[in-house]
Structures are given as structure tokens and as C-alpha cells.
Structure 1
Amino acid sequence: MKRLLTPIFNKSIILILVLLSSLTSLHAQTVVRGVVTDAKTKQPMSYVTVSFTGTTQGVGTNGQGRYTLSTTDNTINQIKLSFVGYKTVVRNVTPGQDQTINIALTEDSHSLNEVVVKSAKKKKYSNKNNPAVELIRQVIAHKAQNQVENYNYAEYKQYERMNFSLSNLSDKFRNKRIFKNYQFLFREQDSTAIGGKTLLPMYQEEKTSDNYFRKAPYAKKQIITANKQVKYDENFVDNQGLTAYFNRMYQDINIYDNNVSLLSNQLLSPIANSSPDFYKFFITDTLKDVQPNLIELSFTPRNTNNLLFEGKIYITMDGNYAVQNALLTVNKNINLNFVRQMQADLSFEKNNDGRYHLSQSDLKIEFGINKNKGGGIYGERLVTINNFVINNARTEETYKGPAQVIALNAEDKDDTYWQMTRPDTLDAASASIYKNIDSLQTIPSFKKTMDIATLVLAGYKNFGTFEVGPANTFYSFNPVEGFRVRVGGRSTPMLSKRYYFETYGAYGTRDEKFKYFLSSTYSLNNKSIYSFPQNYIRASFQHDTKIPGQELQFVQESNFLLSFKRGANDIWLYNDIFRLDYVHEFTNHLSYSLGFKKWNQTPAGSLLYQNLLPNGTLNNIDLIQTTELSAQLRWAPHEKFYQGKLYRTPIPDKYPIFTLNYTQGIKGLLGGEYNYQNLIGNISKRFYLSQLGFTDVSTEGGYLFGKVPFPLLDIHHANQTYAFQLQSYNLMNFQEFVSDHYASIAIDHNFNGFLFNRIPLLKKLKLREIIDFKSLWGGVRSENNPANDPSLLRFPGSGAGTYALGSTPYMEGSVGIGNIFKLLRVDLVKRFTYLDHPGAPEWGVRFFVKFDF
């Protein structure tokens, strides 16, 4: 029986397996995936329709040109690809298999016959009863639900690449002798692409990161897992600052924000709440052969000079009214300096819940002094997001700490890692730029060029372990010193990264006195003291002159150009200052510093220190000695800057900066003659006002406790040069006002051409209107007023004189025209109060040179 059943059982098993196999093949799925590119440019193509031939089943490629198409119909053996302006392509597929088919589309060279369209009078554009405007209002109404911030939790992985090249280079430039043996540096691309045919790559940076978002309590954190960057010689370039500057220019573009930050400006988003008031919208196409169905919405600025985009957005018709793709450009007339072309391509992918998230952002900009021809600079920032996960809560530890953290091994990733991680394949020139730039820096001619550029721009001539400068201080003049000659220099990181030395010597032909400065710095974190974050201790001694109350920004006091001053300029000091300073910065941009200062000051020029003796006779004081301890606390969240040879040049942003200073004068310590305490607080912030431009606001207040002579009071920052200074009073004379308690506000508003763009001539010149206002309240308490105590030093009365503020604040304001020749700002300044003071100017014209986009 068993033998009889065995063959029957075996046949039954075989029969069942055959049936299962038949059923499996009957329902086997055909999956086709791949990437569609332009055969000429090699760039991925979005919204190409990919369908199975003979069916209505199809999809559109995403922002990276990728598609996935599947079916269980095993009779289908072909796919068809179509796109307007390109030849339709048909490819065979193998039924029942998962396969990859990458396709390059070629342009259709057949031209259309001429079509003449005649119409009635062109209808005036209006928002009323306009279906395009009604559609954009629906997009605006659904903005909140389509933002990442609408999720309780979100996380994703991100790849980012930024590169810069010299662009639009001629064959003559490329064939120069200097490049004879370095043709491998150049990169070829299609001549119609942004940047022109020939590029010379100069910078590239790549990052991968893990990103985490939490809605409540709000937290956003980025952990950089890998970082690769072209690095130049630290003697010439601040690599950290360069990265910060590029990132500020090429910020993340969130089209759902009302304003999009770009090139240190803000452009109104085409889906901003007020966008129908500034843009014209047109429905230009409907895409019904893709899922979901899309509407192509084109838009253009009402005023082409305003800071606005133009381009196209594709809106989903699945009830979300979400942006699936956006192509943003700017009009050639826009009031942006040096921008030849700009293009931002944004792509979004659908989440499991049916909503959309940004999957790729590709921002390309070319700059040039001449808008239409000549060499320029081309930059691109590509951001790709994948593994997007929603509502997956992480531990509290994940969201704590700084907003950005760099993994310890981030810079240790090898070429294999980057080849596996990049979402695309780099061309040969871009892939080899890291080693190419290293080779470039060994070329003597390149070193010489960088050396000359550093001398011209930063004022220092490098000699290896020591550099001489700054050049603009070698010669100057003033009424006290006459012609002043100065020579100085400092050590470089080539000597040591821990020890830094700086010195200069100066001589005045009129006073026939030598001045000098010596300093020694020790870095506590084995980094250059010019690298962030700083942590060092410094000792210095200076024997030199100074103007009381003059505080300059980003320039040296002995700068030749600042030798030219208005009015009387003979109030000076001879100072002997010994300082001991400790500075400690943290990566979250919180910093503190501690200081010790031994200061001896002697009046010079027409300045006299005098008091009344008990017998009523005037007594000249030749020396005031103070000894101070000080502390400063500073917090500048998200601060960005470029570290130059002399100063940190801030990169303006919307975040505030808080500074608190405390000084304690100690009588009897090393000759100190006075006890006092001085507390000063400052808050500065930039406010962006969309199409109305931006406003820089700085508020400050101070209070001095104790009884001191007037040279130790707060001497308010005056400016008698012809340069416009944002943090000084431009029509106040040196040492004109002193206070032991005060409050001030400075407001500088740049309209970015909002008004001038409506005036035809000014619109063409791309000038920008500016208003500025400063006000200072303060006074001197009776205990510090020499009118109440003759033993105190008298306020100088000769010449311009020195005064205490009364119940009326000091006020001045200005109207300015900026962007003259793309560099110059000219202000007409008016002083409103205290016009009865001797030598007080009521009007003045001031100049300010600033590089702006």
C-alpha cells in the first residue's frame, strides 16, 4: 500500500508545484526603473513621461530624472518615453523581471512651420477671476500642511556638494603659458550651460549628514558624518571663513517660506502669502499622464527690478496643492549686483502619508563684473535628501546640544566612501579637484599670485615664518605727530601654531618721538589664533598715540586715508598700555574674555588735563594712571564671519548678537588712582522686511559707578573722517560728549531699491536708497561734574570743547544712495541737536565703500 501511494503522492506534489509555478509566473511583476538624462548635457530630466506602450499606465520622472514603473500584465514588453521638444524613445523590456533601463533623450531637430496668431487687444492682467491666482491661493492655504515642520518628528540623510569655478573662460585664457602643463585643471561642458563652455574649478566641498527634527519642544539637529573640502594655504585663505561665506550666499531654499534668503538678500517666494500682489501667474500646461496629475504654473515679477523670482512651479492636483517641482530664475534686470544667471531646481517626493518633502535642491549662480561677457565665477550647491522618515521619535539625547555637530572621523572618509555615497557621478575634473588644487599650490607662479593678492587685499607680505604689514599703515599724518612712518609685522603658523608674535615701530617727524607695540600670544587649543573657536592668552605693551573717543571698524587708526579729517583734529593722547587677555570661544558662539590693563595716559596736542587747586589757581595734570580688571560675555548664535589678516569680517544674518562688558578700576594696584565699575551692554540685530529691504539695529546702554575725572567717563564714539561709520556719530566732534550713564540706538535701513525701482532712470542704474538714524541719551551725575567739584579735571572748553548730555538727546540722521558703481554709498548727514556747540557741523557728506550683491 505504501509503495502504491508513494508514486501517487510524488506526482501530486509535482502537480501542485507546477500549478504554483504557473500561478506565480501568471502574477509575476514586471518592474522597470532607471534614470532619464539629456543626451547633450548629461543632466537628469524631470517630468519625462514613461509609460508602458499600448496602455494608459505611466509615471513622470522626479527631480533626479529617476522613474519606477511596474505591472503584472506579462503581455507588456515595451516602455515609451516622451517629452516636449525631444524625440520619443521606445525600449524593449523583459516581462516578469525587475530591470534597470537608463535612457538619454535627444532633442527633436525638426522645426515647426511658422504659425501666425492674430488676436484682439491684449487683455490687462488682473488677479480678479484669474484661475492661476485662485490656484496659487490654494497653494498658499495648504502651505502649513506641506512643510516638514508640520510633522511631530522627521529625520533624513543628506548629501551636499558645493563647487566654484572660474567661468566663461576664453581659449586665449586657457592657452596662457601659466596653464601649459596644467590643462587637466580645466573642465569642459555644454556651451549653453550656465558658466559657459570652459570652467576652471577652484573650490569644492562635500558633506553627508544625519538630520533630526522635533516639533515640540522645537529642535533641529544636523550631525555631519563626512566632510571633504578643498583647502588652501592658511597664510592666504581662511578655509573656515570661505565655507561660511559660500554657505551664506547659497543657503537652503525653502519655497514654503515667505522669503527666500539668497546672496545675503531675501527674495519673495512665489508662494508667499502676499505673492499675488508682486507676481503675475499663468497656467501654462497640465500634465495628466503622470501621477499625481500636475498643473504647470508660470510666474513673473510685476516689476522686473524688484527682488523677485521668475520661473515655473508644478502643483499637485491630489488635494494637497503641494509643489512637486520648482524652477526658479531671476530676471536680468533684477537689482542684484554681479549676477549673470541664476537657476534653482527644487524637487519634492511623496511621503507615506501622501504629503511631500524636498528631495533635491540644485542652485546654480554665475557672477561677473560685466553682465554679458568676460570671465566670471560659477558656483553650484547640490543638496540631495533620502531615507526620509516621519514621526519616529528619538531619545532626548539625539536632539540635545548644538544645532550642528561634526563627527570625530568626518574628515577621514576615503574615495571609496564618496563614490558609494554620491547620488551622481562626478566628471573627471570635479572628481580630481582635491588633488589638483594641492598640486596647484606647489606651482611657483600660483604662490606668487596669491602673495600679491594678499598684499593688495590684506596688506601683508609673507616671508614664510614672518609677514610684514599692514601696508596701508606704513605712512600717515596728523597734527600732533606730523608725518608718521610705521613698519610692523607678525609671525605666521609656519613658525608655530601655538606661539604668535606681533610688533610695529613708528616715528613722527613733528613730535620726534618713537612709538612701538609688542605682543606675544599662546594658543591653548593648538589651533591658529585666527581660527574659530579661539582659546588663547595674550600679553602686549603699546606706547603710541590715540584720539579719545575714536573707535574704527575694520581699519587701522594710522590708515593713510583716515589722515584726512574735518574740523579741528588736535585732541590726542600718548598712551602706555600693558594688557593681559584671556579669550575662550565655544562652538555654539558663546565666548568670554578676561583682561588686566595697566593704562597711563598723557594729554597731547591741544588737550589739557587741568583742575583747580584750593587757592583757585589752575593745575596741569600730566599723567592719569589706572589699573583695570575686565570681563566680557558675548553670545552670537549662528554667527558667520570671514577671518581676515586683521579682523573678522561678519557675514550679516538675522540672528542677534549680545555683548556684556564689565570693568573694575582698582585704586592702589600698580599705581592705579581710581576705584570705579563700568557696565556696558549691547544688542545688535538685522531685521529682514521682505520687499522693503532690511534694517540693522544696534542698542547700547552703560552705567559707570564711582567718582572719576572726565577722561575715564564713557567718551562717545565720534567720527571726524569723511568715511561714513555705522557705529559712530558722524557729525560729533572727538571727545565732544562724555557720560557716566547713557543709552543709545542706531538704525540703518536699506530699501534695496524698493522705491528707486519705480523711477525709470534710477531703475536702470540699480541704485538703492538708505536712511540712517542715531540717538544718544545720557548725562553726568553731580559727583562726576567738575562744576560741582573743582578737584575733578575740568571739561576742556577751548576749541570744540567737551560737554555732558542734557535732557535733550544727541540726534543725527542721514539719507543715502547706495550701490553707486556697485560699491559706493554716499550719505547726506544732518545733525539735529546741540548745534550751538563751537565747531558743531549741521550738515556733512560721508562716503562708504562696501561690496554688496
Structure 2
Amino acid sequence: MKQLCLFFFFLTLSLQAQFQVNGIVKESTTNKPLPFATITTNNGINTISDVDGKFSILSTIVISTFDVSYIGFTKSTVTVEKNKKYYAVVLSQRTNDLNEVVVPSENPALSIIKKAIENKDNNNPQKKLSRFEFKSYNKLILTANPDSIDGRIDSVFVKKSVGATFSKIDSSDYKFKEIIRQQHLFQTEKVSQYQFSNAKLKETILGTKMAGFKQPVYEIIAFNLQSFSIYDSSYELFETKYNSPIANDALKDYNYKLLDSLIIEGRNTYMIYFKNKKKRKASGLEGVLYIDQNNFAVARAVMRIKGVLDISGIHDFKYIPNDDLWLPSDNTFKIVKGKNDDDIKILGGTVQFDGDIKKDFKRRKKEASDYTYLLSQSNNFDVHYNTPIQIKKSSIAIEIKDDAINKPESFWNTYRKDSLDNRSQKTYLALDSISSKKRIESRIRFGRKIINGYLPVGKFDLDLRKLFSYNNYEGFRLGIGGVTNEQFSKKYRIEGYCAYGTKDGNFKYNLGMATRVGKFSNSWIGISYTDDVREIASTVFAIDKKAFKIYDPRPINISTFYNYVSWKTFIETKIIPKTESIWELSRTAVEPKFNYIYNANGKLYSNYIMTTAMVSLRWNPFSDYMQTPTGRIEVEKRFPKFTFQYTQSVPKIWGNDFDFSKIDFKTEYEKKYLNGQKTSLLFEAGYAFGDVPLTHLYNTSPNNITKETIIQRMTFSGKNSFETMFFNEFFSSEYAFFQFKHGFSRVTLFKKIKPSLVLVSRMAWGNLQKPEQHIGLDYKTLNEGYFESGIELNQIFKGLGLSGFYRYGPNQLPKFEDNIAVKISYVLNLGL
């Protein structure tokens, strides 16, 4: 979902306040910054300094003075001077550290946090209340503060023999400053209704608008910037989960310090600073919790990550006296540039922060764009709780109403906390004009299609996968194919392809048509006819969407295929919550294109008919989905994911020759880390019983050719294939396969050499029932297991990489070099 936004390179927020005061808080003896000091203005605005001691106050009312306090230090009152915007505040340490806050404990902060953890269920609205609902207005902008940018025009003169000649004007910062003085770089608004009942939370978007787009990019709207609840055991900030500072086991991960006390909503609160104990997690979660001194609920929370990006999330609450409960009232999320040597793309490329080092490894001068930041602010209102609530379609986490993108200006004026200032109004006008002029929305549509492997041509999407491929049976496979798109019809579709093999000299083709019978569930019913070839014993999950690749390296050396001529009728649907499935009835005539005879009950078959009923289902129980006017999107891809497939022969129908069943299963797990590393786990298993010919058994995806030397066997590596297993070496009627991968962040060896190291280990076990039925091929079974491990060095240079694998265990070969496979890899970077 996050690949869509290359077109946002020109997009980027802050509230334009009439009065602004910036500064830093330091201690007098060491001159070191004081993080999370409390700053209170004369007009009642509260803020805190960040981890570097810096602070910023924005106000629509004149600020005449502000107080700075920090527990253990003497409070300082600062008078605001005209035309002075930056203040260095120095605090002196007191001897009576904890006179203001008396908590009987060796570490007072630990006692407070323990009580907050003990009282979580009593203070968590999602535990204490059976149901609640409220509306929320959110505004997200990308901008920079014009006053932070130098913005001078530097005229450069070159000396000549007589006088000086004007040579150049460096005006990039000036132009940037002039743009953001008038408008933000990007802006979007939405009004949502949140409903909670039966432990389920749903967001219904009533209205949404995005500068530059008649139809918003829904994936941007669905980005999960911070956890909804501060009480979740795992707190999520910018799509990364951390153990919460008030989780049941939080004390093993965090150190706590009592900073100060503060009055919020007329209630006394403790300010507790928390930070991860382990130094290696220095860029982990830290922040300040404001804990109510009476009920130990969280009255405010500041959560922060400081590293390559500086990310902060602030949760504000409103106290409800009748229920002794703090309900969420406002959220603020902000991203600014941290210290990073490499370019960083976030939100799928929506925002890019350039590295601090140039390509020649020299520290670069700070540019205007370094001051760019993203800010999202939400305000909750119209709160109701413990009243009857019925959540419709509760399996959908986010639903966008069909009319949400067409709301009149009166709708927005009703729900905005403050009317749009001149800068925000100009943002809509300017970006709408740019989008229209540069045809941004049509370019988005084009980009979406290309990413998924289609080239839109009028009412038809050309399938780029069908144009060209190569394998050892067909030779060069040349073809054309595709599917009608939404411009042709939103209710009907026609798809098909035609291909020709230069080596086998045969045409292959497919034609299908379908009609949509359910909009919300995106259900289609259709029929198709196919005459094509397929690799023998390959595991194919019908529900899997084949990823778009310019090349598919593994089939290059495959020579054992079977021809199949198939009629099928099918239903595709997402009607079951958090699933998508295909239900299919088919009749297939199979002809092996290699030396093979199948012996079933004494009868020999060189070709055969298979009539089957099949269901293929993918279940993503931990993912969240968004229902849009144009379809359903998986907005939060969480793991594990599960895929099931069951195939049953249908006897005595359409000339079926065999009685058999097949059960296939796959589960995937993936964990990404903030430092760029990733761990992936894959488990597959299959079980076929009854009379099943070799063409429809399992080969566990081999990818090694039978040649004498390692160099002769060098080919392209696959994604989840055994690189040391030879084609047609093993067959199974039942098998289990496990794969482990861990990818490290890219390492710079030389200027243009930045490989990505991946550790890989694979293993499989299997068995073949009734081996005497299969005549024609020599093969082995996986009864004792198969094991290989290796290293991938991907993207060494311009996408090219190398990998090496070693085969070991019971099926290790006698000659050492025969157990080694060296492969070439290629990763295409589209810059998305």
C-alpha cells in the first residue's frame, strides 16, 4: 500500500500561529540541556522541552511571560521581549529536590508507575466502558516554518580584468521560503466517527478531502501514525510497535524519573519521564506520562522516537468527573528530520528526507528542505458513552462513506475546530491547480497499474507478465493478454491471453469473463477456458496473486511440463471477514509432455481427465481493512497470514478418471525493524491421497540444473526455492517445508557498492505413497529430510547480487562441490 506515492515528491505542514516563542532549557552547572522541562505561558498554554531541551510555543494570543520549571531546579519566569523569538533559559539546581512532590519511595517514579499499571483496567475507556462513540476532525499537513529558513538570494560575482561580472543567483532557498510562506506543501482533512462496542473499534470516515485530488489517495488516509489507546500493551508509533511504558512487564524495559507536578483539567498530575534501559535501544521509545495523583490514570502522554527520524506522538485527555475517567480528546503526531546519512522515504515515498552526506561522502550544507516536517492533529468531540451502539460491518476497521469525497464547504465549516487560515486555503487552490495541470490523478492511476504488472491502454489493461518469458520446454514464450478495466465496466470484465512457444511450436490461450454480484464483498462469478502448459508437481495456490516481475528466473531451466485444457466456473469473494477466497468447479484434460505413464488399479494412463471442486482461501486475522467507494484495501498488513486450499475430485461427472483429495496449507510471518532489518518465516505443507498422478503431486520447488561444475550450474535464484535441489530429484505426496530469512540493513562498502546481506535456511520433509504407480521418471523421496543454508548478497551493484547455498544432512551428495550452488540475483528498484 505504501508504494503508491512517488507522485508526492512535491508535497509536504505546521500551524501558522500569530505568536511564536522558541528556546532551549539548560542547567546552570553543566550547561547541558534539560529534556522535558515544563513551560507554562501566562495565557495558560502548557508544553515541554524535547529530548534536546528545545521547545516551541505557538499561540493566537499574545504571550507576555512564560514559566520554566523542572523538579529539583528553581523555577524561572521569562518576560517575552518584542522581536525576540529565541530564549536560552538556564535553571539552577535546588537542594530540596522532592519537596514539591512527596511520594514515600526510594524511587518515587517507580511507585507511581506501579500504581498506574495496577489501575489500568479501571482507567482504560475500552475496559471500563462497554461502548462509546465520538466524532473526530483531523488535519494533516506537510510544510516548513518560513522563519526557520535563511531564504537569502546569494549573488555570485566573478572577477574579470576590469570590474566584476555577475555570474549566478542561488535562489533555491528563497523560492522555497516564498512558497511555504503562502501555502503548505500538502494538506488533507477528514471527519470521522469512532464507535466502540463488544471490544471492537471502527472508524467511519464521513468526509475527506485531499489537496490536489478529486478522489483522495485512500492509502494515505489509512496510515496508522500512532496507537489509538495509550493503554495498549504494545504501543505503536509510526507503524513500529514498542512495549508500552505501562505494560504489565514495562519495568524490565524502562527506567523512570519523576520530573515535576502539573495541574491538568483542575487535577494534580505527576510528570514521569521514561526511557529504555538498554543502550542499544537508544533510538527506542521514550517520553513523559502525566499520571493523575488520585486515580493514577494517564492524563497526558508524550511518546517519542529520536534517531534517523524524530517522531513524536502526543495524547491529550479530558476528565469526566461523574465517571472519574479520562477520555481521549486530542492527538498530535509529528515527524521531522533526524540524523541520517542515507536518504529516507517514509509513508511509501510520500515524504523523503535527504541524507546528511553527499554522494562524495562529504557533509553537506543544510538546505531549506531540511526544515520540512509532517504534522497531524486530531480533535475529538460529540462524545457519547454507555448508550446503545450498533456497529455495522464491524469486521472492517475503516469505512469511507460513498459521499465522503463530495462534502460541501458547509460540512467542513461545521466540523473544523478553527476556520482555515489564508495559508491553508491557498494550499487547496494551488495544489488543485498543479494536479490538474500535471494530470497527477491520471499518473496515479497509471502508477497503480504498472506496480501490479498492467499497462493501461484505454479500456483494457495489458498484462506485462504475458509479453515475454523463457523456459526449457517452450523456449521463448511470446504473448499478449490482459483484462478490461473500470473504464470498460465496473460490473463486467473480460480477460484472456494468447502465447506462442518458439521451441515447442504451439499456441496457448485463455479466455474468461465475469460479472460482479456483490459490491461490498467484491464478489464475482465467472467462467473461463484455458489451453496451456504448467510445470509438473508444482504447488499452486489459486488465491495467490502472482507478483509482477520483469523476469521470472526459476522456470528458465524447467523442461518437464504437462498440457492442460480446462473449462472452469468460479466465484471470487471477500464476503467472509478478513478473507478472500475462490470457489471453483473445473474439468481438465491433462497430457504430460515428458516420458510418463500413470498406473491406477492396473490401468495405464498417458493422458487423463480430472473433474474437481476446489476452494482456495487466504485468511489474514490480524490485518485491518478499509472499505472505500472503489473497493476493499488491506491497510494494516499484520502477520501471521494463512492460506488454505482443498481440492476434491468429483467422481462420475464429465468423464473424471480418478478419485482423490488434496489439502494444501501455507503460513507466512514477517517482522520489520526500524533500522531496516527484516525477518521472514514461511511454512508450507501439502497432503494428497487417493489416485493422484505425478503431475499433480509436490516437487518442493527445486532450482538447480544437472551440470558438472558450479559455474555451469550458475543461474538466477528464486524467491522460495531450494537452490541446491536438482529439477525432478524429489517427488512427494505429502510434504512439509520451512524457510527462515533474515535481512540486514544495507552496508556501504564503496561509493556505489551497498549490498544487502540476507541469511537463509530451508528444510523439507516428505513421503511418496504408492510409488509403483508412477512410471517413467527416476526420483527420490524426502523421508529423511532435505536441508540447505546460504547467504544472499543482494543489490551489490545496480540491482545485481550473488548468493551461495550449501546442501547438508541425509541427502548430502558425495562430492563436496555438488552440494554448492552459486546464483545470481536481481532486485528491480522502481523507486517506489
8 Å Cα contact 1:473/1:486 also seen in 2: yes
Does residue 1:561 correspond to 2:551, yes or no?
A: yes
State the one-letter code of the partner of 1:582: I
Tell me the equivalent position of 1:485: 478
- Say which structure is richer in strand: 2
Worse-superposed segment, 433-442 or 342-351: 433-442
Structure 2: gaps spanning 5 or more residues: 1-14, 23-35, 50-55, 69-75, 94-104, 152-173, 337-350, 357-366, 705-714
Deviations along 1:735-779, one digit per CA (max 9) or x if unpaired, are 5443333444455567x88xx9xx9999xx999986655443432
SS in 1 for 2:552: helix
1:262 is displaced (CA, Å) by 3.7
1:484 is displaced (CA, Å) by 2.9
Instruction: Output the CA distance in 2 between the equivalents of 1:555 and 1:583.
Output: 13
Tell me the equivalent position of 1:515: 508
Instruction: Output the CA distance in 2 between the equivalents of 1:294 and 1:610.
Output: 81
8 Å Cα contact 1:341/1:365 also seen in 2: yes
Tell me the equivalent position of 1:661: 645
Structure 1: gaps spanning 5 or more residues: 1-35, 53-57, 68-77, 90-104, 118-127, 173-187, 334-339, 787-791
8 Å Cα contact 2:469/2:476 also seen in 1: yes
1:386 counterpart (374, 381, 392): 381
8 Å Cα contact 2:812/2:819 also seen in 1: no
1:416 counterpart (385, 399, 410): 410
Alignment of 1:181-260 (within 5 A): 201=185, 204-213=188-197, 218-222=198-202, 224=204, 226-230=206-210, 243-244=218-219, 247-260=222-235
SS in 1 for 2:306: coil
Instruction: Output the CA distance in 2 between the equivalents of 1:398 and 1:289.
Output: 33
- The 1:518/1:835 distance shift into structure 2, 3 A limit, reads same
1:493 is displaced (CA, Å) by 0.9
2:334 counterpart (346, 364, 367): 364
Tell me the equivalent position of 1:155: 132
State the one-letter code of the partner of 2:460: F
1:508 is displaced (CA, Å) by 2.8
Does residue 1:343 correspond to 2:285, yes or no?
A: no
Tell me the equivalent position of 2:459: 465
Deviations along 1:297-334, one digit per CA (max 9) or x if unpaired, are 4455566764844554142361344433333332234x
SS in 2 for 1:524: strand
Deviations along 1:606-660, one digit per CA (max 9) or x if unpaired, are x321368999xx99x65343222223454433535799xxx99966644554444
- The 1:198/1:259 distance shift into structure 2, 3 A limit, reads farther
- The 1:290/1:587 distance shift into structure 2, 3 A limit, reads same
1:707 counterpart (691, 699, 703): 691
1:88 is displaced (CA, Å) by 5.5
SS in 2 for 1:573: strand
State the one-letter code of the partner of 2:327: H
Does residue 1:785 correspond to 2:771, yes or no?
A: yes
1:343 is displaced (CA, Å) by 2.5
SS in 2 for 1:425: coil
TM-score using structure 1 length: 0.67
1:540 is displaced (CA, Å) by 2.4
State the one-letter code of the partner of 2:199: A
- The 1:243/1:305 distance shift into structure 2, 3 A limit, reads farther
Does residue 1:539 correspond to 2:527, yes or no?
A: yes
- The 1:449/1:677 distance shift into structure 2, 3 A limit, reads closer
Task: Report the structure number with the largest CA radius of gyration.
Answer: 1
8 Å Cα contact 2:291/2:300 also seen in 1: no
Instruction: Output the CA distance in 1 between the equivalents of 2:500 and 2:329.
Output: 63
- The 1:730/1:436 distance shift into structure 2, 3 A limit, reads farther
Alignment of 1:626-665 (within 5 A): 626-637=610-621, 639-640=623-624, 653-654=637-638, 656-665=640-649
State the one-letter code of the partner of 2:780: Y
1:106 is displaced (CA, Å) by 8.2
State the one-letter code of the partner of 2:505: E
Instruction: Output the CA distance in 2 between the equivalents of 1:641 and 1:820.
Output: 36
Instruction: Output the CA distance in 1 between the equivalents of 2:113 and 2:652.
Output: 73
Instruction: Output the CA distance in 1 between the equivalents of 2:600 and 2:126.
Output: 72
State the one-letter code of the partner of 1:364: K
Alignment of 1:280-299 (within 5 A): 281-287=256-262, 291-299=266-274
SS in 1 for 2:126: helix
Does residue 1:582 correspond to 2:571, yes or no?
A: yes
- The 1:112/1:545 distance shift into structure 2, 3 A limit, reads closer
- The 1:110/1:458 distance shift into structure 2, 3 A limit, reads closer
State the one-letter code of the partner of 2:811: L
Identity percentage of aligned residues: 19
8 Å Cα contact 1:812/1:832 also seen in 2: yes
Tell me the equivalent position of 1:548: 536
8 Å Cα contact 1:478/1:563 also seen in 2: no
8 Å Cα contact 1:255/1:270 also seen in 2: no
Alignment of 1:39-118 (within 5 A): 39-40=18-19, 49=40, 82-84=66-68, 109=85
1:716 is displaced (CA, Å) by 3.2
1:159 is displaced (CA, Å) by 0.9
8 Å Cα contact 1:658/1:683 also seen in 2: yes
1:673 is displaced (CA, Å) by 2.3
Instruction: Output the CA distance in 2 between the equivalents of 1:632 and 1:374.
Output: 53
Tell me the equivalent position of 1:601: 590
SS in 2 for 1:739: coil
Does residue 1:266 correspond to 2:241, yes or no?
A: yes
- The 1:253/1:265 distance shift into structure 2, 3 A limit, reads same
Instruction: Output the CA distance in 2 between the equivalents of 1:197 and 1:269.
Output: 39
State the one-letter code of the partner of 2:134: K
Count of matched residue pairs: 709
Instruction: Output the CA distance in 1 between the equivalents of 2:196 and 2:230.
Output: 20
SS in 1 for 2:236: strand
8 Å Cα contact 1:87/1:106 also seen in 2: no
Tell me the equivalent position of 2:609: 625
- The 1:524/1:760 distance shift into structure 2, 3 A limit, reads closer
State the one-letter code of the partner of 2:332: D
1:796 counterpart (747, 760, 777): 777
1:805 counterpart (782, 787, 791): 782
TM-score using structure 2 length: 0.68
State the one-letter code of the partner of 1:151: K
Tell me the equivalent position of 1:672: 656
- The 1:718/1:692 distance shift into structure 2, 3 A limit, reads same
- The 1:804/1:406 distance shift into structure 2, 3 A limit, reads same
